[in-house]
Amino acid sequence: MATANVVTPQSEDFPKWYQDVVAKAEMADNGPVRGTMVIRPHGYAIWERMVAEVDRRIKRAGAQNAYFPLFIPQSYLAKEAEHVEGFSPELAVVTVAGGEELAEPVVVRPTSETVIGEYMAKWIQSHRDLPLLLNQWANVVRWEMRPRLFLRSSEFLWQEGHTAHASAEDASAYARKIHTEVYNDFILNVLAIPTFLGIKPPSERFAGATNTMTCEGMMKDGKALQMATSHELGQNFARAFDIVFQSDAGESAHCYTTSWGSSTRMVGGLIMAHGDDRGLIIPPRLAPTQVVVMAVRDGDEAVDAACASLVTALDNADVRVTLDRGRGSFGRRVTDIELKGFPLRIEVGPRDLAEGVVNVVRRDTGEKTLVALADVAVTTTTLLEAIQADLLATALHRRDSLTVDVATVEEAIAAAQTGFARLAWDLVTPEIEKQLKGEALTVRCLQRADGSMPDHEKEAGLTCIIAKSY
């Protein structure tokens, strides 16, 4: 069936392909205010699955969910000078409310370190109150000059974790725990996207942080996408907001704090890491619907009964399944299902049904398999795990084959036109970073030679990943 013209081919125009998939797979639409986004039910169902998987991991790491206000007094941001300077160009500020000019302007939260710091200072008195491990699921506003749905929007959804600790060592260990056991575990094992784990160079750190850790994924066009970040904040915010505790020896000390976040940007990463010229491809562990059962011919009593029976059997096997009730021709319905990226579809036709079989079709490869009705549940669960593994293997091969070890900055610039360049960090000076930015390139992260995350950028023998990015 002809689906080539449904979306622009990736090889022809990758940004247009992305826009086509977001629109035609019914993921999202532009909001009425420039830079805002309306997330449609299919896109939101994917985000809900992300929320559920990440939230489960966050709670397993010991953090509790809370909620803090959308509006933050402007004076709060001013308390941490580096923080407000870093966010200043992106702030949305309210000066009039209730028909009157406000005595103090309020900022629509770009992130919540400041307001949460205010309450941490109120809630923490003793070492017994530590560590304080908080997370909130919320929206934030960062006024975006070049918006792109899911990737960069003026308002987006996310989770932001904020913690306070008695020591720098405990804070660092917890930030790394979140980065590996929450973010990397989810991105690798659910989204099926391999990332480079590393720390940001000082020029790319979160405003006010002493260390920023990142998960950098490669998209199908060879560009990098920052999937999630974790920040060690030292005592910067604790000093600004007087977050103090009494030690067991009775001495007063400032806490060490962390923050960490992931957002709807991960939906954009999902699209660009796995999608193809037929649309979206969703890894089975993430997919809100893993299997779509569809009748080849509407109105056939035996076919309809078989479809209903298959839905029940798959549901009983803990497969997330739906019955296609789409309108139009069979070919149009298949195109719509493929656009939306459901991992498997089961086609039930009268001729196959007469022989006791149905056609099971993989979204990722298009491979079709005739399966006996009695074997559908077992075969389906096996295929779903195979698809999950194959998507990860394909993405890993792409990333590794497009990551080139280079010896000079010039070689790095050349290699990073189509993928990632890996260069010795000690060759990169502030002047070189400026040169890279002039080529639309940045240092995405720093790693040890074995690929592990360093403690800081001054360790000997580090390498850096250089790439174009979103």
pLDDT recorded at residue 1: 40
Give 227-256 pLDDT, tens digit per residue: 999 999 999 999 999 999 999 999 999 999
- Residue 299, exposed/middle/buried by CB under 10 A (0-12, 13-18, 19+)? exposed
Please, which residues have CB within 8 angstroms of residue 108's CB and are 6 or more apart in sequence? 70, 71, 72, 91, 92, 93, 94, 141
Task: Give the H or E element holding residue 18.
Answer: helix 14-24
pLDDT recorded at residue 327: 78
Which structure tokens are listed for 56?
Answer: 């489960």
E strands within 264-364? 291-295, 321-323, 344-348, 357-362
> Which residue, chain included where needed, has tokens 């040169």?
435
pLDDT recorded at residue 78: 86
pLDDT recorded at residue 441: 98
DSSP-H helix ranges across 25-112: 41-60, 74-78, 81-87
pLDDT recorded at residue 2: 39
pLDDT recorded at residue 328: 85
**Rounded Cα distance, 82 and 233, in Å:** 12
Which structure tokens are listed for 321?
Answer: 């399944």
121 contacts 241 by C-beta, under 8 angstroms = yes
SS3 411: helix
pLDDT recorded at residue 394: 98
Encode burial over 11-33: b for 16+ CB neighbours within 10 A, e otherwise. eeebeebbebbbbbbebbeebee
**Rounded Cα distance, 203 and 71, in Å:** 29
CB-CB neighbours of 98 under 10 Å:
6
**Rounded Cα distance, 126 and 129, in Å:** 5
459: amino acid identity, one letter: E
pLDDT recorded at residue 163: 98
pLDDT recorded at residue 157: 98
pLDDT recorded at residue 82: 77
Report strand pairing: 357-362 vs 368-372.
antiparallel
Helices (H) and strands (E) in the chain, counts: 15, 23
pLDDT recorded at residue 80: 79
Q: Positive or negative CA dihedral for 285, 151, 68, 240? A: positive
363: amino acid identity, one letter: R
**Rounded Cα distance, 421 and 436, in Å:** 12
Q: Which domains does the chain have, with CATH numbers?
A: 14-274 (3.30.930.10), 291-384 (3.40.50.800), 401-467 (3.30.110)
- Residue 443's closest CA among 459, 460, 458, 463? 463
User: Within the chain, what is the greatest distance between any pair of CA atoms?
Assistant: 81
Low-confidence ranges of the chain (pLDDT < 70): 1-5, 84
